[in-house]
Each structure stands twice: as C-alpha cells, then as structure tokens.
Amino acid sequence: MKINWGTGIVIAFALFMSFILYFVFKVQSNSKYDNELVVEEYYKHDAKFGEEMLRIQNAQDLKLKPIITVNSDTISIEFPSVFISKDIKGKVSLYRPSNKKLDFEIPISLSSSTLLIPKQRLVGGRWDINMEWQYNGKLYLTKDVIYLK
C-alpha cells in the first residue's frame, strides 16, 4: 500500500497529538506532579496586601534586623539585643514551595534573643521563612529564603 504525502501529514499530526495528550494525561493523573496553589485563599490574602506591605516596611525600617543563620543541626533566628526577648510575640512559618505537606509554623516564645529550629524536621532544598512578629504593639513581617543541603 502506497501512502501519499497528504496521508503522511495527517498520520504525523495524529501521532504528535497522541504524544502530547499522553503526557498531559500522565502529568494530570500522577500526584508526583501536583499543581498546588501558592496560597489557598488567594483573594482573601490579596485583600490584606496593604497591611502586609506596612508590616514589611516596619521591618525594613529597623536599624538592627533579625538574623537567620543555618548551622549544622539547627536554624537560628537571632533578634537584636535592643528588644526585650519575652515581649516579642508572633510566629515563624516555614514554607516549602515544592510540597505543601512539609509546611509548618513555630510560635515565637523567647527566653533569650535566639529562636532555634531543628533541621531534622526539614528536608533539603528551598525553604521560604516568613516571620510575623510584634513588639510593643508594632507589627513586623520579615521574609527570607534559605537553601538546605
């Protein structure tokens, strides 16, 4: 049977479309390729954007900022010594962009100026650290990114 060029083009298009559809269905059905949202309730989060920017600006205006240090077995967050440690309240959110199931929060409750987070809870890769805290009624938001091996 002889195939002319028109039939060959149709067969080539059909094979190409089948190839593409196979990968689309494979990615959509496999949980390994999960398409998660960055924020669950995006519009509610977006409505509070102005407040968030004010808290970020408050943190940027500080002369001495909290310092995040990655050590061999811990992540330490050291607040400036000008703050009274017991008066700092808030939470530290560790956000894993590639897997929502690994996200967790730690409340800020200090007896010294340093908050320690054990690295055994963290897998290697990128982690976004959001610190929402307040001191003397003023709200602060600090965002940082760390990479673990």
**pLDDT bucket at 37, cuts 50 / 70 / 90:** low
pLDDT score at 49: 85
Q: Please state, in angstroms and as integers, the Cα–Cα distance from residue 49 to each residue in 42, 81, 100, 123, following that order.
A: 11, 30, 22, 30
**Sheet strands side by side (includes 67-70):** 67-70, 74-78, 114-118
pLDDT score at 106: 92
For the record, the structure tokens of 7 come out as 């039939």
pLDDT score at 61: 93
Q: Please state, in angstroms and as integers, the Cα–Cα distance from residue 57 to each residue in 26, 64, 77, 105, 132, following that order.
A: 44, 14, 19, 22, 13
**pLDDT bucket at 8, cuts 50 / 70 / 90:** very high
Q: Which of these, 123, 124, 141, lies nearest to 132 by C-alpha position?
A: 141
Q: Is the pTM of this model over 0.75?
A: no
Residues above pLDDT 70, as percent of the chain: 94
For the record, the structure tokens of 133 come out as 């805290």
Domain boundaries, the chain: 1-35, 42-148
CATH number for the domain formed by residue range(s) 42-148: 2.60.40.10
CA torsion sign for 87, 106, 93, 38 is negative
Q: Which of these, 22, 38, 40, lies nearest to 30 by C-alpha position?
A: 22
* pLDDT at position 36 over 90: no
* pLDDT at position 85 over 80: yes
DSSP conformational letter for 32: G
* pLDDT at position 40 over 90: no
What is the average pLDDT score of the chain?
A: 88
**pLDDT bucket at 89, cuts 50 / 70 / 90:** very high
pLDDT in tens, 96-123: 888 888 889 999 988 888 999 988 888 8
